[in-house]
Amino acid sequence: MSIDLTDPIFNDEAAAWKHFEAIRWPDGPVCPHCGVVNSADPIIGKTARHGLYRCRECVKQFTATVGTVYERSHIPMHKWLLATHLMCASKKGISAHQLFRSLGFGSYRTAWFMAHRIREAMRPDDLSPLGGSGKTVEADETFIGRLPDVPKQRHGYAHKNVVLTLVERGGSARSWHVDTTTVATLIPIIRANVARETAMMTDQASWYKNLNKDGDFASHDSVDHSKEEYIRRDGERMIGTNTVEGYYSIFKRGMKGVYQHCGEKHLHRYLAEFDFRYSNRIKLGINDTERAALALKGAEGKRLTYRQPREAA
């Protein structure tokens, strides 16, 4: 199902609030002050804000945005919904400048901060191990951007940010911005985020050499890219890292073609955005509308209050 931009939730504030409340409160309004469910009355009047309720028990006022990344925002709810849908439906992302132009904001900074709040909502709450019995997880790393105050190297990647990604075949992706590609850095992350019953696939980078030394996984196979080996068959099994490399192809096209620049301190949120879209993609039976609803649901219990640095993009 594609996005219907004529839907009232994208241009009518009352419809937008009703849509958000239905996602946030499927069983009725929940008072963030006393926790009582479905015991609140809407405050209606010429000066009343959209979505404002008064709890019958503690008599305090609240809206559905309290306790979410949207709290204390002055941006109309219908613009929040449209921005969220656009970011969820854009395979390679949508720039803050594009949001600024499309949504008619007063400043680019508003669109920039808005996009980061939505990325925070995309950050996963479920960090249960990937893989499992009969499943395969591919691990790989890539290098992107520039580290501040580090001169560009003629050879190697010492001047770039390091990203580690785990992708479960037919499932989710999970990425980290890490300091180095050392055994001490990468292996503990992999062991903490992949189930022991999983078949692991990597390339022949030295840091993966002893990945299964202690029998932490069902198996560990690798391909040698230096010999132009990218995939091979072992009976019914396909050994290779094409799945995680496919993830990186989308990630890099987005980061270089859409966002173009990303400060080191913000990279983890861009990774959360690309992980979210990949983990909730069409091939898993999740359409654009459902993906946006998941992002709206993910706004619960999260806040983002930092200010935009002047050099951010």
- Give the torsion through C-alpha atoms of 271, 275, 277, 282, to 10 deg: 150
Share the mean pLDDT of the chain.
92
Token digits of residue 248: 């990186």
Each residue's pLDDT tens digit, 22-49: 999 999 999 999 999 999 999 998 888 8
> Looking at residue 310, what is its pLDDT?
42
> Looking at residue 307, what is its pLDDT?
54
pLDDT surpassing 90 at residue 75: yes
**204, 223 Cβ separation under 8 angstroms:** yes
Give the rounded percent of residues in the chain with a pLDDT score beyond 90. 80
Closest CA to 307 of 109, 152, 18: 109
> Looking at residue 311, what is its pLDDT?
38
**286, 294 Cβ separation under 8 angstroms:** yes
Supply φ then ψ for residue 96, to 5 degrees.
-65, -35
pLDDT surpassing 80 at residue 156: no
Each residue's pLDDT tens digit, 259-313: 988 888 999 999 999 999 999 999 999 999 999 999 999 999 998 875 544 434 3
> Looking at residue 47, what is its pLDDT?
82
E-state strands within the chain: 40-42, 53-55, 61-62, 136-144, 161-168, 173-178, 199-203, 219-223, 231-234, 237-240
Supply φ then ψ for residue 300, to 5 degrees.
-65, 140
**Structural domains of the chain, ranges and CATH numbers in brackets:** 1-25+64-125+271-313 (no CATH), 136-262 (3.30.420.10)
Residue given tokens 């469910």 in the structure block: 37
pTM: 0.92
> Looking at residue 2, what is its pLDDT?
63
pLDDT surpassing 90 at residue 236: no
Contacts of residue 120, defined as CB under 8 A and 6 or more positions apart, other chains included, come to 69, 269, 272, 299, 302, 303, 304
Each residue's pLDDT tens digit, 167-178: 999 999 999 999
Each residue's pLDDT tens digit, 122-148: 999 989 999 999 999 999 999 998 888
∠ CA 14-280-177, rounded to 5°: 105
Q: Which contacts qualify for 157-166: CB closer than 8 Å, 24 or more apart?
A: 161/264, 161/267, 163/251, 163/267, 163/271, 164/139, 164/140, 164/189, 164/190, 165/139, 165/140, 165/141, 165/244, 165/247, 165/248, 166/130, 166/137, 166/138, 166/139, 166/190, 166/193, 166/194, 166/244
**5 to 20, 85, 99, 110, 289: CA distances (angstroms):** 16, 10, 14, 22, 11
> Looking at residue 254, what is its pLDDT?
97
The burial of 279, by beta-carbon neighbours within 10 Å (0-12 exposed, 13-18 middle, 19 or more buried), is given as buried
Residue 234's identity, in one-letter code, is D
Distance CA 110, CA 104 (A): 10
